[in-house]
């Protein structure tokens, strides 16, 4: 508990993210989705292989990243939560200016959400967490009690099945726009909310940006999912030319499955950052 209260004296998530955007001149978020089947042979059967793989990726890509985004399911399915905790601690210790977004997509009633919030912020030490908003504000409110941490709500996700609910008309606008308006307005009690909007839907990114002003957006879906970098940059950047964490996971992590995996990841991360910045310059 003492560790959490000490961190309260530092920057909020939004301050840390803004600082990193300005410092790094990068909008690239590097996703950490460790899949043992895609590891180099030397790490597949090692008890700390996930930790060694992910920390090597972090060291290789830190110069090109505005944030890191570990996906909790990849760790939990291997009973590797202790390695996740150690990886986040490694990032905080060695790259304290880079925010960590824990991608868990939680969404449950308030009494349970309190424990999920404690898990994300106190156990794992994340700067922000992804959440599902579809059980309403009382499922989000416990996260806002951590006044320095971020909560990033699913709004218009990159998967095709997102159409099933997010594009339903509710009154005169689709559900995802209602989520954006709530996040930008009455739900944003501590000023630390953000939204997930997929790179595969640049029109919707543009609409969300119009609704939310300079609210930060987490934009998955480039790389393996095929989102267009130029289109999502054009639609998503804020009034200062920042405002988006454009996530790439598999394309960077598994650029090579050989012993040169870290070097290959660094190369792809640098190339991706450069493509993003070229798109920013062309606006």
Asked if residues 17 and 216 have their Cβ atoms less than 8 Å apart, the reply is: yes
Residues noted as catalytic = 105
Q: What is the largest distance, in Å, between two alpha-carbon atoms of the chain? A: 56
Phi–psi pair at 104, nearest 5 degrees: -125, -20
Asked if residues 183 and 133 have their Cβ atoms less than 8 Å apart, the reply is: yes
Q: How remote is the C-alpha of 222 from its chain's centroid? A: 13
Please tell me the distance from the alpha carbon of residue 29 to that of residue 65, in angstroms, as a whole number.
6
Please tell me the distance from the alpha carbon of residue 141 to that of residue 129, in angstroms, as a whole number.
13
Please tell me the distance from the alpha carbon of residue 56 to that of residue 59, in angstroms, as a whole number.
5
Name the DSSP letter for residue 174. Answer: E
Name the DSSP letter for residue 224. Answer: G
């Amino acid at each position: 508990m003492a560790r959490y209260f000490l961190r309260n004296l530092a920057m909020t998530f939004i301050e840390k993210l803004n600082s990193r955007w300005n410092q790094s001149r990068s909008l690239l978020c590097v996703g950490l989705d460790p899949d043992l089947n895609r590891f180099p042979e030397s790490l597949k059967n090692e008890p700390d292989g996930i930790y060694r793989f992910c920390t090597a990726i972090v060291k290789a890509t830190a110069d090109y990243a505005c944030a890191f985004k570990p996906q909790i399911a990849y760790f939990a399915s291997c009973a590797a939560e202790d390695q996740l905790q150690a990886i986040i601690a490694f990032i905080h210790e060695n790259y304290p200016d880079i925010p960590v977004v824990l991608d868990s997509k939680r969404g449950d009633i308030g009494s349970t959400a309190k424990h999920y919030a404690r898990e994300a912020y106190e156990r794992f030490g994340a700067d922000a967490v992804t959440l599902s908003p579809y059980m309403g504000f009382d499922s989000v409110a416990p996260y806002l009690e951590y006044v320095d941490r971020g909560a990033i709500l699913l709004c218009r996700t990159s998967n095709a099945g997102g159409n099933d609910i997010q594009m339903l008309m509710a009154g005169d606008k689709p559900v995802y726009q209602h989520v954006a308006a709530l996040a930008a307005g009455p739900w944003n009690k501590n000023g630390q909310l953000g939204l997930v909007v997929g790179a595969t839907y640049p029109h919707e990114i543009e609409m969300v940006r119009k609704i939310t002003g300079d609210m930060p957006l987490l934009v998955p879906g480039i790389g393996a999912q095929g989102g267009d970098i130029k289109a999502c940059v054009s639609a998503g950047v804020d009034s200062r030319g920042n405002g988006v964490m454009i996530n790439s996971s598999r394309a960077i992590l598994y650029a090579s499955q050989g012993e040169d995996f870290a070097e290959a990841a660094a190369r792809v991360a640098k190339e991706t950052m450069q493509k993003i910045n070229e798109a920013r310059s062309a606006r």
